[in-house]
Amino acid sequence: MYVADLINEFLESLEVENGRSRYTTRNYELYLSRLLEFQNEFDPENDLKPEDINEEWLRKYRLWLNRYLTERGKNLTVMTQNYHLIALRGFLKYLAKRKIKSLDPVLVELPRTHRAQVTFLYVDELNRIMEQIPLDTEDGLRDKAIFELLFSTGLRVSELVSLNRENVNLSRREFMVRGKGQKDRPVFISQAAADAVQDYLDERKDSLPALFLNNSRNQPMVGTKGDYRRLTPRSIERIINKYVRMAGITKHVTPHTLRHSFATDLLTNGADLRAVQSLLGHSNISTTQIYTHVTDAHLKEVHEKFHSDVE
């Protein structure tokens, strides 16, 4: 069998047997398609077979990834190269499980990366942003609800766009969300966020299931379940950038920045790290520990309060 055929079977197994989301599967499909793109340049006369993947092939593939230029003429970041190698390693594990001879997955080592500093917004910055949102239109009410919900819950943008109206209990101000790895976790909403979402829903005249809709007149009417009107992660990013610019904030702000802001705000106000881990849906607390930088601001205060002076 050829690798191209086996990749298709691997992607199906990710979704069916491993319970991965369609979003994750699409990412794996992109990363593994680059593998075939490399093979087409490396050896265009022959389709790639599992036994062709050896240490020398891997070395050349990694070099190719490091020199790869995107459509915008930019190189792949080290983190993005890692994602490609993680996808390759997962594919090789799949081959090993099926007893198909290929490269040992343990030989696919990942380069070290330096974790970028976490960017977050202070509450006063969030207030400045939300002051820019007009509340006399349906779009404005929607955008305010998006900001409030992201900051109140720490939702990932993929989790936010997949929400339906029926998922969110505004009276109890809590609901369950399915995150990475198909894991469910409880989500709690502030009263301000619940009110903002309710104001938006009260303004809507449709019966579509999606919690947040794209009201663009150019939106194509595709599908039968109303998902053609559902906002996408990219749409959410554009909405956030619009108001960040209007507020004159120069930080690079994405939907994930609001997730960082949610976690940072909790820890600053004394929340337990384990509790924040659960609220964020992190499987490993080491992921949550990137937010412990917020305690640095209190160190001087603690030092002055508890350290004794020598007389």
Give catalytic status of residue 94 as yes or no.
no
Does some domain include residue 98? yes
Shared-domain flag, residues 131 and 230: yes
Number of domains in the chain: 2
Residue 47 CA to residue 170 CA, distance in Å, equals 55
Shared-domain flag, residues 20 and 54: yes
Catalytically annotated residue among 89, 98, 180, 204: 180
Shared-domain flag, residues 144 and 286: yes
CATH of the domain at 27: 1.10.150.130
Shared-domain flag, residues 175 and 86: no
Catalytically annotated residue among 62, 84, 229, 259: 259
Share of the chain above pLDDT 70, in %: 89
Does some domain include residue 237? yes
The predicted structure's pLDDT at residue 220 = 52
Mean pLDDT of the chain: 87
Q: DSSP label at 71?
A: T
Shared-domain flag, residues 294 and 257: yes
Residue 29 CA to residue 8 CA, distance in Å, equals 8
Among 54-58, 97-101, 194-198, 287-291, which is the least confidently predicted range? 287-291
Contact 13, 58 (CB under 8 A): no
Contact 148, 192 (CB under 8 A): yes
Shared-domain flag, residues 163 and 197: yes
52: which residues sit within 8 A by CB, 6+ positions away?
A: 3, 46
Higher pLDDT, 85 or 296: 85
Residue 97 CA to residue 117 CA, distance in Å, equals 38
Shared-domain flag, residues 102 and 127: no
Give catalytic status of residue 282 as yes or no.
yes
Q: Domain span at residue 231?
A: 123-299
Shared-domain flag, residues 133 and 264: yes
Assign 295 a pLDDT band (cuts: 50, 70, 90).
low
Shared-domain flag, residues 208 and 251: yes
Question: What is the pTM (predicted TM-score) of this model?
Answer: 0.65
Shared-domain flag, residues 193 and 247: yes
Give catalytic status of residue 97 as yes or no.
no
Q: Domain ends where: 44, 74, 107? A: 107
Catalytically annotated residue among 49, 98, 185, 256: 256
Does some domain include residue 43? yes
Does some domain include residue 115? no
Residue 25 CA to residue 286 CA, distance in Å, equals 25
pLDDT at 305 > cutoff 50 = yes
Q: Domain ends where: 83, 107, 131? A: 107
Q: Domain ends where: 107, 141, 159? A: 107
Shared-domain flag, residues 99 and 129: no
Shared-domain flag, residues 168 and 253: yes
Residue with tokens 């009110």: 195
Give catalytic status of residue 180 as yes or no.
yes
Per-residue pLDDT tens over the stretch 132-186: 999 999 999 999 999 999 999 999 999 999 999 999 999 999 999 887 777 888 9
Give catalytic status of residue 172 as yes or no.
no
Catalytically annotated residue among 20, 144, 156, 260: 156
CATH of the domain at 158: 1.10.443.10
